[in-house]
């Protein structure tokens, strides 16, 4: 019915207005540039392209092929790698492709457990289970929020997995890739790194560089610290020709048909913009995360890893068990227009009522916030979670802060010269 369509439109408009007046802090979200968004409503959206550029199963891909080849070229240049497949339609689909290429049902991989920050795709009820692969989890240093290197080395030698997998959803510090390289070589396993959360930080030189530390396959989504579309990517630098062919086949026909051409074009735009603004943006994201952690710590919050500077990424993890737990904190914060997510922390057994919340700085950095604004955000969170102020009262101050930060930075403005950050604040 016409009324239904109009009602749906109104809900989307209401959502847009709500987020315009909110402080979004979910670590797995970001904002595309206007130029990238334009690709999402182009005719690419309505078309199909199966296979690789120049080897399609459909006609009509002359310009699609040109854009996809440019997207691959940009990815190879930015990540300094030899292999790039830009067809996965999400990070989890990229993970499924890696599992399809690297494992057979019944084989074993090593990975991190959910309460230590892993992504659900490596859980038995996620993509790993769907592939029928067995998982063994690394020993974990919960104080430092890192994999225990000696324990991991012992586990790898005992289990001799087909694949050693790394990557987290609460990705505070780098994984011990260099430290375990001799062990990987001794047992002959493939090393796979899920960089979904830290892809932009890797591209911006602010995190470890896994492809040049010995990782064979890197998978990622492209919409977290890398501010592109909801899409996926597979990268490689130390792949054999055989593995490259396996990865291409795993993506198509393995886990995708057409690969959302509009999103692929938006990814290409984002990669092109990244060469101009990416390093500066990634650096500020990390500065803001540390500033937020410090400000919340000074207010008495139990921010994990205070002794290590809280984080080396875009994320901080905060234990709010003393203030009602992560579920209630996220509900109350949402009522104040501060958008966060509850999150399991080490020792938690329930993902429904965990002790923590996870906060990311990548989206608010994209809108121009810097360290001083992180202190203001910390105060707003404190008023809701600790002081238990009426969220409706705090919401007014959230709106007042946010009204100065509504324009996407670090991007090309309608074909003009790239924004310079210092000109915008």
Q: Per-residue pLDDT tens for 227-262?
A: 999 999 999 998 999 999 999 999 999 999 999 999
pLDDT of the residue at 422: 35
Q: Per-residue pLDDT tens for 303-361?
A: 999 999 999 999 999 999 999 999 999 999 999 999 999 999 999 999 899 999 999 99
C-alpha to C-alpha distance for 247 and 384, rounded to whole angstroms:
47
- Does residue 423 register a pLDDT over 60? no
Q: How far is CA 44 from the centre of its chain?
A: 25
Average pLDDT (154-175) is: 97
Q: Per-residue pLDDT tens for 358-405?
A: 999 999 999 999 999 999 999 999 999 999 999 999 999 999 999 999
On whether the CB atoms of residues 353 and 325 are closer than 8 A, the answer is: yes
The single residue listed with the structure tokens 């899920």 is: 194
- Does residue 263 register a pLDDT over 50? yes
On whether the CB atoms of residues 201 and 286 are closer than 8 A, the answer is: yes
pLDDT of the residue at 378: 98
- Does residue 166 register a pLDDT over 80? yes
Q: What are phi and psi of 288, to 5 degrees?
A: -65, -40
Q: Per-residue pLDDT tens for 51-107?
A: 999 999 999 999 999 999 999 999 999 999 999 999 999 999 999 999 999 999 999
> 303-310: long-range contacts (C-beta < 8 A, 24 or more apart)?
304/145, 304/172, 304/345, 304/356, 305/143, 305/144, 305/145, 305/172, 305/173, 308/144, 308/145, 308/173, 310/172
pLDDT of the residue at 420: 41
pLDDT of the residue at 413: 75
C-alpha to C-alpha distance for 301 and 313, rounded to whole angstroms:
19
Respond yes or no on whether the N-terminal peptide bond of residue 62 is cis (omega within 30° of 0). Answer: no
Average pLDDT (178-197) is: 97
pLDDT of the residue at 183: 98
User: Per-residue confidence at 414, pLDDT binned at 50, 70, 90?
Assistant: low
C-alpha to C-alpha distance for 272 and 324, rounded to whole angstroms:
44
Domains along the sequence of the chain with CATH: 34-270 (3.40.640.10), 278-414+418-423 (3.90.1150.10)
- Does residue 126 register a pLDDT over 90? no
As a whole-number percent, the residues of the chain with pLDDT over 70 amount to: 97
pLDDT of the residue at 118: 80
User: Per-residue confidence at 415, pLDDT binned at 50, 70, 90?
Assistant: very low
Average pLDDT (147-153) is: 98
pLDDT of the residue at 421: 36
- Does residue 223 register a pLDDT over 80? yes
């Amino acid at each position: 019915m016409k009324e239904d369509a109009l009602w749906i439109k109104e809900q989307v408009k209401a959502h847009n207005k709500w987020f315009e007046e909110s402080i979004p802090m979910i670590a797995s979200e970001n904002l595309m540039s206007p130029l990238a968004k334009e690709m999402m409503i182009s005719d690419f959206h309505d078309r199909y392209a199966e296979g690789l550029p120049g080897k399609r199963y459909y006609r009509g891909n002359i310009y699609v092929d040109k854009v996809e080849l440019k997207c691959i070229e940009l990815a190879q240049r930015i990540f300094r790698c030899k292999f790039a497949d830009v067809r996965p339609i999400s990070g989890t689909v990229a993970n499924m492709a890696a599992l399809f290429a690297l494992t057979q049902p019944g084989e074993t991989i090593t990975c991190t457990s959910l309460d230590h920050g892993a992504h659900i795709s490596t859980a038995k009820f996620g993509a790993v289970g769907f592939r029928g692969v067995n998982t063994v989890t690394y020993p974990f240093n919960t104080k430092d929020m890192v994999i225990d290197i000696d324990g991991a080395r012992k586990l790898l030698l005992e289990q001799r997995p087909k694949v050693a997998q790394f990557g987290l959803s609460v990705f505070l510090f780098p994984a011990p890739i260099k430290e375990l390289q001799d062990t990987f070589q001794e047992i002959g396993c493939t090393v796979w790194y899920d960089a979904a959360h830290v892809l932009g930080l890797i591209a911006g030189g602010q995190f470890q560089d896994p492809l040049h530390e010995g990782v064979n396959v890197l998978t990622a989504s492209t919409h977290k610290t890398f501010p592109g579309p909801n899409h996926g990517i597979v990268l490689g630098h130390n792949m054999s020709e055989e593995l490259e062919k396996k990865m291409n086949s795993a993506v198509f026909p393995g886990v995708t048909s057409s690969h959302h051409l509009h999103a692929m074009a938006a990814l290409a735009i984002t990669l092109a913009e990244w060469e101009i603004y990416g390093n500066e943006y990634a650096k500020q994201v990390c500065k803001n995360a540390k500033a937020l952690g410090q400000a919340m710590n000074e207010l008495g919050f139990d921010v994990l890893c205070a002794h290590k500077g809280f984080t080396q990424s875009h994320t901080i993890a905060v234990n709010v068990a003393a203030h009602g737990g992560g579920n209630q904190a996220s509900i109350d914060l949402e009522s104040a227009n501060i958008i966060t997510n509850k999150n399991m922390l080490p020792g938690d057994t329930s993902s429904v009522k965990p002790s923590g919340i996870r906060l990311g700085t990548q989206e608010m950095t994209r809108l121009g916030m810097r360290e001083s604004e992180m202190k203001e955000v910390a105060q707003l969170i404190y008023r809701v979670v600790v002081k238990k102020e009426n969220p409706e009262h705090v919401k007014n101050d959230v709106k007042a802060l946010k009204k100065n930060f509504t324009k996407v930075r670090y991007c090309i403005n309608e074909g003009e010269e790239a924004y310079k950050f210092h000109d915008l604040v």
